[in-house]
Homo-oligomer: A and B are copies of this chain.
Amino acid sequence: MKNIILLYNFINDPFCHIVIRFSTKNISYKARGCLLSILPYREDSNPQTREFLARVVDVLLDFIQQILEFKMPEEMQKMLDLNLPEDPLPLKQLLEDCKTTLKHQVKTGHPHFFNQLSCGLDIISLAGEWLTAAANTNMFTYEIAPVFILMENVVWICLQPVCVPGGPSPQVPACHYSVKSCASVGGLGTDYCIAVPSDERGRMITSELERLVRYHRDRGNVPFFVNATSGTTVLGAFDPLMEIADICQKYDMWMHVDAAWGGGLLFSKKADSVTWNPHKLMGTLLQCSTVHFKYEGILLSCNAMSAEYLFMTDKIYDPRFDTGDKVIQCGRHNDIFKLWLQWRGKGTSGFERLMDRLMELSEYMVRRIKEQSDKFHLILEPEMVNVSFWYLPKQLRGLPHDSNKEIKLGKVCAKLKGRMMQAGTIMVGYQPDDRRPNFFRNIISSAAVTEKDVDFLLSEMDRLGHDIVVD
């Protein structure tokens, strides 16, 4: 016997006092009281819920093309009705709510959104996330998430052989601020989190690492953990992993590789642990963050609290399939399905081609920047899809490049970004680093981007920014 289980029984729902009738063209409803709840799994369900969900999907598919219709927070607050009402609002209003929300939301999947490491909208991964929502389960025990738990195992096993290619060792810069945050939350204190100097390309200087380790050991401290980075947030730099691994081995330190960003390009077997965010370079939907350890059973030995009331051992299946006691957060969202389905749809070779294509586009962008060197100043040759550059408005063209000019170029960034947001046609991020004032960092991680979009990006920046004047 087959039953439609997500359907909402608008009529026989004990909480529902509205009779709702959908027609194909518009939603009409006859109020008998108020609508409270949409129920799944009633045998006597009828097809209106299907209709409601289909309409939501229509709204989702009808995004408009502008990236952002920017409104200042105060203005947006006045314009939107975000109130939580005492009484239920009709389904028609909820559909309007969805439309309005999307209208004012930044379109991160638009090929002119170059602002963040996570860009694009992979449709297969989207379908995966929709299924995840409908399955609505916790990654907790095999009992309640059997298929998803097995999928996690398969995906992580498949990742093992995806390891570092030989040849020129890819290279860490100023590491992600989360390392400092961890030192604080973990009770170590930020004073005991030591920054290792990096070279001009943002890569960790390994002789400095060794010098600092010896310096602190000589003072009776115990350096025990080194965070190397594969693909830094701003410059996209790669630390020299092999050399760092040797130093870690020599001084008995844990080597962690933060490959959150660069992981799609590189895996290391030398590290004790690796983090990777498929939601960045691979385009998996937000969030999908993974951590990998070299040592079997280490998570359980560190984190198991053996809460008997949650993780019983007298089950009919092997309780080692339960993952809840391995992690610190108890409940955990199912982030595996969207990655698994996406991988099935792309194949390993598809991911490879995607990486090649993103690199190709970044190289194209670098070439176009060089061809327009009067308007754009490339800061360094990128190792990844991070392209760092300044935009020169007319005021600053043709002047010699010095630190005084860099300060002015830094001021251009904030002004130009403001104009981008107000125009709503393009978005590129900017930030300072320890060597420079503000500069633009462009990211091409969306499979939707083409050469034409790169050209549009540069010409649009010029259109919006050519007349900027700074002090």
Residues of B within 8 A of A135 (CB): 101-102, 105, 108
Q: How far is the CA of A328 from the CA of B181 in the complex (A)?
A: 6
Docked complex Cα distance between A144 and B37 (Å): 32
A379 proximal to B (CB < 8 A): no
- Residues A285-322 near B (CB distance < 8 A): 285-287, 289, 303, 305, 307-310, 312, 314-318, 321
Q: What is the interface of chain A mostly: helix, strand, loop, or mixed?
A: loop
Confirm or deny: A382 has a beta carbon within 8 angstroms of a beta carbon on chain B. no
Of B8, B186, B188, the contact of A123 (CB 8 Å cutoff): B8
- Copies of this chain per assembly: 2
Partner of A6, one of B105, B123, B134: B123
**What is the CA–CA distance of A49 and B343 in the complex, to the nearest angstrom?**
18
User: Least Cβ distance of A281 to chain B in Å?
Assistant: 13
Contact B109 A6 (CB under 8 A): yes
Contact in complex: B107, A343 (CB < 8 Å): no
Q: Quick one: closest B residue to A98, CB to CB?
A: B131
A137 in the interface, Cβ–Cβ < 8 Å? Answer: yes
Binds B, one of A114-122, A219-227, A398-406: A114-122
A56 to chain B, nearest CB (A): 4
| Contact present for B85 and A348 (CB under 8 Å) | yes
Instruction: Closest B residue to A82 by CB, please name it.
Output: B154
CB of A330 closer than 8 Å to a CB of B:
yes
With A34-B349, A89-B345, A312-B431 known to touch, is A448 a contact of B150 (CB < 8 Å)? no
The B-contacting residues of A in range 344-393, CB under 8 angstroms, are 344-350, 353-354, 357
In the assembled complex, how far is the CB of residue A1 from the closest CB belonging to chain B, in whole angstroms?
Answer: 6
